[in-house]
Every structure is written in structure tokens, then in C-alpha cells.
Amino acid sequence: MTRVEMVALGIGVISSALVGSMFLVGSSAPPAVVPTTDLAARPHLDFSGDLRKRCVESYFEQTLNHFEATHETYQQRYFVCEEFWRRADDKGTDGPIFFYVGNEADVELYLNHTGLMWENAHEFGALLVFAEHRYFGKSAPPDAATRLQHLSSEQALADYAVLLDHIKDTRAAAASPVVGFGGSYGGMLATWFRLKYPHVLDGAIAASAPVLSFLGEDPPANLTAFSQIVTYDATHAAGSAPNCAANVRRSWDVIVDAAATADGRAWLQAGLGLCDPFTSRDDAVGVRDWVKGAFDYLAMGNFPYPSSYIMNGASVLPAYPVRAACEPLAPSFASTKEGNFSLLRALGAGIGVYYNSTNDQVCYSRAAPSNASQVDADFWDYLFCSELYQPQDQGLGGDMFWPLAHNQTEDAARCLAKWNVTLRPHWAQTQYGGRKALREVSNLVFSNGNYDPWSGMGVLVDLAPTVVAVEVVGGAHHLDLMFSNPGDSKAVKKARAEEKKHIAKWIHDAAK
Amino acid sequence: MTRVEMVALGIGVISSALVGSMFLVGSSAPPAVVPTTDLAARPHLDFSGDLRKRCVESYFEQTLNHFEATHETYQQRYFVCEEFWRRADDKGTDGPIFFYVGNEADVELYLNHTGLMWENAHEFGALLVFAEHRYFGKSAPPDAATRLQHLSSEQALADYAVLLDHIKDTRAAAASPVVGFGGSYGGMLATWFRLKYPHVLDGAIAASAPVLSFLGEDPPANLTAFSQIVTYDATHAAGSAPNCAANVRRSWDVIVDAAATADGRAWLQAGLGLCDPFTSRDDAVGVRDWVKGAFDYLAMGNFPYPSSYIMNGASVLPAYPVRAACEPLAPSFASTKEGNFSLLRALGAGIGVYYNSTNDQVCYSRAAPSNASQVDADFWDYLFCSELYQPQDQGLGGDMFWPLAHNQTEDAARCLAKWNVTLRPHWAQTQYGGRKALREVSNLVFSNGNYDPWSGMGVLVDLAPTVVAVEVVGGAHHLDLMFSNPGDSKAVKKARAEEKKHIAKWIHDAAK
């Protein structure tokens, strides 16, 4: 992965993590873990088995371009799960609609992972809807790859508004309140859906949504926040070995120095445990990106219990995987050639938590585990280039990485060459307004875990009376959205309970 | 004008009135009337002379399609008037920006007529900006008529957001609050601008904005409201001759009966005072639309003092022109052929207030006075067909017109044939949300005069703590936006004072 690709991926780093799932089409859904062993007594909390089978998969003929009056349509996929829905003729009023605001992956991922929706459905009598984002999963228009101009967050939001009209119309459910849920980019979309369509969405839970990540934010977005929090996860304060971050930081010079000569590159290959020799100095220097990638993903997936989420279901990461990766990096290594070699060996072992999670690699091939489909990553890059430019810096704010600032000119050139689009560095801020817009709206919960690298661009303080921040101490990327787990901390339980209170209030207020 | 065209014009009826102006390019601006004779003592209230000369006319290279990442741009025109702007280095904080949210005509019209902005500019230390709506005035993209797909309210709102960024950036005025002003469709745009871009616009005065006119509104829009209020203007309660509405109502059957025979049509021609004979029964029946058009426009322009606004500056309508048109219709006419002829003569005389406002016609040509450019009317029709479908009924709610319901199938067929677009009857409601959206937002003033036919689709009651209705008793179409006039009623003065209070509060709150 080149630096340019890393930068270009931007929140795509998130997306990759999100795409990581064992629940993709064709695979069966494993049993969800619930916090009680007595499911017979609480059958509404039994979410074992294939959740997709409890929903109806449908396609809606959706307008391709909402902002120009063309006739074209495409088939948008969505799932509706009715089992918990309380209708007015049963008890008082119609139950609400819980609406997952689909992001940049197959919507089955969200259906299978958004425990917060499933686990609260019974109590609220909610209809569950999982809507797929245009151009992802099975919701691509014909010739999608050659007609990317209709891929945009604005079109996606309009899709959701129209789809909800359809769902309500066909069920005579005009009065049902609608609560949005989304994580990561889905959390950004949920936020913007509430901002732009307050008549459609009564409130939203936006988990790990980096809505303050754009240029033009006031005060400015901290572009090194991602790397800083990855670094934080590798410190004693976050439970990792005290020397870890310092050792990682020190390794970059060791790598660059060694890359200068053929002997050095062979030494580097051996130290890190790579299968193949480096082909050039640049190739060897580029191994830094590959190493950083492991820490980035492990930090996002720094959950308190073993989880396969980040690994796309192919393998299981240990609890607190950053701590695990830091274990080999605990010692002090001498500033000698031997010491440096030991450091490289430790680094190689550390990133093995990610790159050898299957425990069957005798050496590293430097191919990252496939936790995002190429087409999803590409389409995310199109969004990055066309409207959601989230530049990132590193090594400039005390983090453990080498200094590298984003280069807008370079990004613009790359986006033009790759997608034939003009980079619009300020559009997202103009369109969605960041903090300033959020101070003007209502009924939004922003949850963020301090182990999640994206939390540094999220809403961490209340911005308005009902636009509130919920902290998940010790939480990584949208942990609160997931199914309950015996390993859940008090913090995440508390966060979910707070979210539930807000949801109840939004539904109550909407009924007025 | 055929019925289809009338219906199609919908709010275009508004637009025609708005376009009516003596201030189009090339004509000089006449002295504005101010409520004091001592302008020397209050030079900041002297708005005589050509107001355009007090502003800088500029063009901004604007993105043609904000929702797809193309490279195309067009030149958007706007005027900036700086003379009253208070900068931070003078007194405390930067003054606000008063932003006219341009609607479907040459923006010079709004620059010259929006007295509410000019008359308050000094006191608030405001920068005045008048922004032109894409595809109107001088802000048409190249080949506009053949590339109408980029004409939409959503694109226009995005234009305004981007333009305001530019204006603020180039003046280091990031902290200046922005207050929007708009009348009619401009009032709708101001409303939607605040709804969708609360981070850009701190509040808006939406005058005579029929934002509750769309299908899907709850409770449903009253589609006969326009005709009902035109009728109201022709009753004793609105100061007109008591028999007026009844006589007008009675005339339709007289016209249709007469149209059946050649003799009857000749009699009809003579009675109404038309220059040319009718060519057929349908032609004669169609004269009803022509007659109704006079009452529609006179009702919109039913101002308390003589005004040339509705007549595009070419002539002056008397004070309360509906009352004037009703004067000949005051008597009771016998139900005899002679009585009917007298009724037709009275009707012909009444509509002469509109069709013979120049007092130089010996007979009527049935060509309506030109108070809208054809291209503006056409482009408005495109908006009506592509996204802003405002159907109208008449004669079904006790008004004085013959019964005629809108026909959505017919409208859709016409729109497809004319513009090759699919009519979207529910899109405006999905996108902008009507009442339900307005209950969720803040800082909006909806002013409506009860003489204005469009007020029946406007916001007449407060919808949220700071989303308020301001009544202009005895006011016609956005009277409150205009320059002060010695003939102003207490009601309009009170409305303007209330608006001023809200503006002051928005500015104050924005500074926090």
C-alpha cells in the first residue's frame, strides 16, 4: 500500500474495517453472543442463527438522480424485519422504525452486526430496516463503475428519504417515528440525514462518526488525531507495554537506514520476517506503510474481547489486540546493530497479531489480509475524491509514526487522473457544516470510544441541548453498536443505556 | 392562456408578478418613496436614485452540478453593497450579511424592491448581498435552454452556500452572521436554505412563501386556497363592492351559454369589449381564463397604495385594485338577456383595471400585459414539472370561479411532452418536509398578508419557538419586503418592526 493510497483511503481505513465481516453473502451467520445464558426465558434476546432469515430482502426501484429530473432508476436493496413491530391495533400507537443508514459495504454486514437495533427492537416494538447504500453491496446501478457520477452522499440521503416514504406508505405507517443508526461513515450519514431531513428522521445514534474531519472546521480538524490515537493505544495508559510506542517510533529510522543498501535490505527482510526480498530502496522504505497498516487496523479493532470483526471473519484477533502486538515490543533494545535487529524482530512479531492472525504464516507476504472488497475500496476512494476529502497527517503531533503531511495538490492530481474529478477540499464542510451545523440541530447522539483512532475527529462534547456526546471509555470503533457480549465493560453498557434513553425520548416527543 | 398553462404556471403566477418590475436592466430606477420628507436628516434612509449604482455587480465561477463531481462551471451573478457594512475595527464586531435568496427573475428586481434590507442596513451595519438564481437573469449557463437538468432548487441552494463561503472568505468575514430574505419562491428558498444549511444562514425572513403547498402535506394543502383568497379580495369584507364576487361567479355560465352559438359569441365579444371575434366555442369558453387572470394578478397586487409593481412599471394600478375592479360589478344585474349583457359590460370594465391600466385601449386584444419574460415563465414551468409540483383547484371550495380540479395525469403527460421529465408529485414534500420539517428547525419568520392569494398555502401559525408567523392584515404579496411608503398601514409597519426584532435576536445569538 503506497502512501498515496493510504491517504486516499482516508476514512476508507474505517470502511475496510467495516467491510471486515464473516457475514458476507454466502457465508452463514454465526450465533450472536448474548449476555444471558437463559435465552428460553428471554427469547426476544436470542439472536443466534442467521439473522437475515428473520428479515425480508427487497429491492426498491429508486431514482438514480434525485437532483435532476431524469427517468433513470436503479434497484436499491433493503431488509425489513417485522417480528418485533407493534402496530397500533395491538397496543396504543404504532411502534417506531429503527433505520440503519447503510454505509460503504454490503448491508448484510450491518444487519448482522448492529446488535443495538436488534436488542432494543422488542422493548420498543420497532420495525427494523437495513438500507443499502447505492453503489455498494447489491445496490449498484447498471454499469456502476463507469457511471460513478451518481455516487454521492447527497444522493444516498435522498434515497433513504424516498425509501422511507415507500416503506411507510406501503405499511400505512405514516405516524411511526424513525430512529436512525449508523457507524463510521454510516454514523456520518445518520448525522447528515437528521440534519438535512429532520422531517424524515426523528433522531439518530451516530457511532464513531468522524463528522469533524473536514477542512474548514472551526477550530480546525486535528489531522494527526488518527495516528495519535493509534499511538495512544500502544502506550501504558491504554494498557500496552510502556516501551511499545517508543520502540515503534524508533523503528522507522532503522528501516530507512537499512533500505539504503542491498545488505541493509536483506537484513531488514530477515528482521521483519518477510518472504520476499525488497526490489529497491523505495520498496524497502515502503514497508513502513505496511507496518503502520497493522497498527491502524488493530487500533480500530481494539475491542475488549476476542473478535473476528476486523479480520472479516477469517480469523480471530485476541482481546485488546494492540496490547498483544505491543508485547514483543516491551523491552528496551540497545542502540546497536544487534539491538536494532532485535527491534525489527519484535516489530515483525508484533504486527503478526494482524498479519499472522491465523498463526500459519512462516513468513510475511506483505499482502494485507483481505478485509475490504476492491470495488468497495475503489468506490470509497471516489467519494473521497469527489466530495468527502478527509486529509490525514502523521508524525507531526507527537505520534509514533514518521512525519508525513497530506499534500492536497498531489491528492488533486491523483483524483483527477484516477476518476476525472476535481477534488473539492471544502465541499463537505460547506454542505454539512461540521460543528456549526450540529449546534443548530437536535436529537443526535455521538458515541466515541477513546481507543478508536477515528474518535479524534468525532463529537466529544455536547453541542446543543439534545446533540450530545456519549463516551465509551476503553471502546474501539463503534463497539456500542454491536451485540452484547459477556466481555462488555461497564462503560459500553452505560453508553448503550444512555443511547436507549435518548431513543425513548425521541420516540416519545415524536408522538406529540 | 389555457387552463393547462395556468395550472402549470402554479406559483409561476407569483413569478409573473415578481418579474413585473420597472427596474429591469436598461431602465433607470425611480426614486424610492420613504416615509419622511426630511431625508437630509436621515441620509441613510434616502434610497432615491438607481440603487444598482450603490452596489458592485460581480460574477462568480460557480459549480454547475454540486451533486456530481464534474468540472463544469457557470457564471453566477450577484451584487454586493458595502456602504453600510460595519467592520470589527470600527465598532465591536463585524456587521451581519443581509442575503437576498434570489428567485425566478433577474436579481435586479429584488435589489431594487427589497426595502426591508436597505432600510435596515444602516442600523444593523449590514453588508447587502443580492444573489441571482441560476438560469435566471444573467446567471444562465451556456446553452441553458437545452441543458435544463441543472436547474433545480437544490442546486440553487448549494450555489448560495458556496457563494457565501466565497464572499466571506474574500472579505475575512467568517464571523459575520447571515440573515436571509426572500419573497414568494424566494421565501421558499430562504426557508429551505435555513432548513438545509443552518450553518450558513442564521435566520430568514420568508415573505409570502407558500411552503405548505405540496401534495403530501399533513393536514393536506388546500388546493383551492388561491382562488378562495382572490374571491375574498372581491368581497365586502376586503373592502370591495358586496355584490362583486357573486357577479363574477354568475358570469361564467353566461359566458359558457353564449359560447354555444355564433350569435352568442358575437354578443359575448361585444359585452366584454373584445377587439376580435371568437373563432370557436372553445375559444369563447377560454375567455374565462383570461378574465380570471386579471383577478389573480390584481389580488396579488392588492396593495394599499398606487403601485406599478404588478404592471412591470409600464403603468400604475390604483390603490386596492381589486376594489377598483369590483366597482363596476357593484349592482344587481337582472337575470335577463339585458341583465346578462350589463353584467358582461361590468365584468369587462372591471378587468380593465388590469387589462386597460394604461387607459388607452378602446377594446381588448386578450393578450395579457407582459409582466413576465417568456424564458422566465418557461424555466419556472420546468421547475414545476421536475420537482416543485404545486397543483391548484378552483370552484370547489366556495370561491367565485368555475369548478376545475387539477389533473395529475394530464400534468404528467404535458411535462413529459414539453420537458421530457417525469413529474414527481411527492418529491418536494420528501425533500423539504413542509410543516413537519419546520417544527424541527429555528429562526424563521413567515409573513403573510390576508389579501395575498398565496397566503393560503403559507405558514399562518407559529410552528416552533422561533419559527413564527407574522400577519400583515390587509397586505398582498410580500408587501412587507418593499420600501416604506406613506400609504403603509399600521399592520405592515408592525410586521416590519417584528421582523426587525427577530433579525436582531438572530444576530445577537449568532455572536455567542
CA distance B229 to B476: 10
Q: State the angle between helix axes of A185-196 and A12-19 in degrees (0 to 180), rounded to the nearest 10.
A: 110
User: Which pLDDT score is estimated for A371?
Assistant: 58
Q: Which residue of A has its CA nearest to B433?
A: A199
DSSP code of residue B368: P
Residues of A in Cβ contact (< 8 Å) with B158:
430-431
Q: How confident is the model at residue A129 (pLDDT cuts 50, 70, 90)?
A: very high
Tell me the ipTM for this assembly: 0.90
* pTM for this predicted structure: 0.91
Would you say residue A103 has pLDDT above 60?
A: yes
Helix (H, G, I), strand (E, B) or coil at A449: strand
Q: Which three cell numbers stand for residue A154?
A: 447527497
Pairing of strands A97-101, A56-63: unpaired
Residue range A20-48: mean pLDDT, rounded: 51
Q: How confident is the model at residue B420 (pLDDT cuts 50, 70, 90)?
A: very high
Question: Of B139-148, B195-204, B436-445, which range is least confident?
Answer: B139-148
Q: Would you tell me how many other CB atoms lie within 10 Å of the CB of residue A498?
A: 17
User: Which pLDDT score is estimated for A308?
Assistant: 81
Q: How confident is the model at residue A265 (pLDDT cuts 50, 70, 90)?
A: very high
B282-293: per-residue pLDDT in tens?
999 999 999 999
Active-site annotation holds for B452: yes
> Cell 464571523 belongs to which residue?
B175
A192-249: per-residue pLDDT in tens?
999 999 999 999 999 999 999 999 999 999 999 999 999 999 999 999 999 999 999 9
Active-site annotation holds for B169: no
Residue B100: phi and psi, rounded to 5, are: -80, 120
Residues of A in Cβ contact (< 8 Å) with B149:
68-70
Would you say residue A6 has pLDDT above 90?
A: no
Would you say residue B6 has pLDDT above 60?
A: no
User: Which pLDDT score is estimated for B88?
Assistant: 83
Using a CB–CB cutoff of 8 Å, tell me whether A158 touches chain B. Answer: yes
Helix (H) or strand (E) holding A119: helix A115-124
Helix (H, G, I), strand (E, B) or coil at A206: strand
Q: Could you report how far apart the first and last alpha carbons of chain B are, in Å?
A: 53
Q: Would you tell me how many other CB atoms lie within 10 Å of the CB of residue B368?
A: 15
Probe site for chain A from B200, B431, B443 (most A CB atoms < 10 A): B431
User: Which pLDDT score is estimated for B512?
Assistant: 77
Residues of A in Cβ contact (< 8 Å) with B68:
149-150, 152, 386
Question: What is the nearest CA distance from B191 to chain A, expressed in angstroms?
Answer: 13
User: Which pLDDT score is estimated for B15?
Assistant: 32
CA distance A47 to A128: 14
Would you say residue B36 has pLDDT above 70?
A: no
Q: Where are the domains of chain A?
A: 3-218+436-510
Q: How confident is the model at residue B20 (pLDDT cuts 50, 70, 90)?
A: very low
- Identify residue A95 by its one-letter amino acid code: G
- Cis peptide bond prior to A142, omega within 30° of 0: no
User: Which pLDDT score is estimated for A90?
Assistant: 56
User: Which pLDDT score is estimated for B38?
Assistant: 61
Active-site annotation holds for B15: no
Among the listed residues A336, A300, A344, A298, the one whose alpha carbon sits nearest the alpha carbon of residue A317? A298
User: Which pLDDT score is estimated for A40?
Assistant: 66
Helix (H, G, I), strand (E, B) or coil at A500: helix
Average pLDDT, chain A: 90
Q: Which residue among A69, A430, A437 places its CB closest to the CB of B162?
A: A430
CA angle A97, A98, A99 (to 5 degrees): 105
Contact A67 B67 (CB under 8 A): yes
CATH of domain B3-218+436-510: 3.40.50.1820
Choose between B378 and A155: higher pLDDT.
A155
User: Which pLDDT score is estimated for A291?
Assistant: 97
User: Which pLDDT score is estimated for B369?
Assistant: 56
CA distance B501 to B508: 10
User: Which pLDDT score is estimated for A11?
Assistant: 35
User: Which pLDDT score is estimated for A121?
Assistant: 97
Residue range B62-88: mean pLDDT, rounded: 94
Helix (H, G, I), strand (E, B) or coil at A458: coil
Would you say residue B295 has pLDDT above 90?
A: yes
Among the listed residues B44, B193, B36, the one whose alpha carbon sits nearest the alpha carbon of residue B126? B44
Helix (H, G, I), strand (E, B) or coil at B453: helix
Residue range B262-285: mean pLDDT, rounded: 97
Average pLDDT, chain B: 90
CA distance B284 to B286: 5
B475-506: per-residue pLDDT in tens?
999 999 999 999 999 999 999 999 999 999 99
Residue A163: phi and psi, rounded to 5, are: -60, -40
Q: Which three cell numbers stand for residue B327?
A: 366597482
B347 in Cβ contact with B269 (< 8 Å): no
Q: Which residue of A has its CA nearest to B203?
A: A440
Contact B69 A149 (CB under 8 A): yes
Residue range A85-93: mean pLDDT, rounded: 77
User: Which pLDDT score is estimated for A17?
Assistant: 30
B126 in Cβ contact with B97 (< 8 Å): yes
CA distance B310 to A5: 60
Q: Which residue among A70, A152, A440 places its CB closest to the CB of B67?
A: A152
Would you say residue B29 has pLDDT above 90?
A: no
Residue B510: phi and psi, rounded to 5, are: -65, -30
Q: How confident is the model at residue A342 (pLDDT cuts 50, 70, 90)?
A: very high
Using a CB–CB cutoff of 8 Å, tell me whether A424 touches chain B. Answer: yes
User: Which pLDDT score is estimated for A483?
Assistant: 94
Contact A161 B431 (CB under 8 A): yes
- Cis peptide bond prior to B219, omega within 30° of 0: yes
Contact B149 A70 (CB under 8 A): yes
User: Which pLDDT score is estimated for B49?
Assistant: 86
Residue range B97-101: mean pLDDT, rounded: 98
A423-450: per-residue pLDDT in tens?
999 999 999 999 999 999 999 999 999 9
Contact A69 B421 (CB under 8 A): yes
Contact B198 A433 (CB under 8 A): yes
Contacts of A19 (CB under 8 A, 6+ apart): A104, A105, A106, A109, A312, A371, A372, A373, A376
- Calculate the CA A451 to chain-centre distance: 13
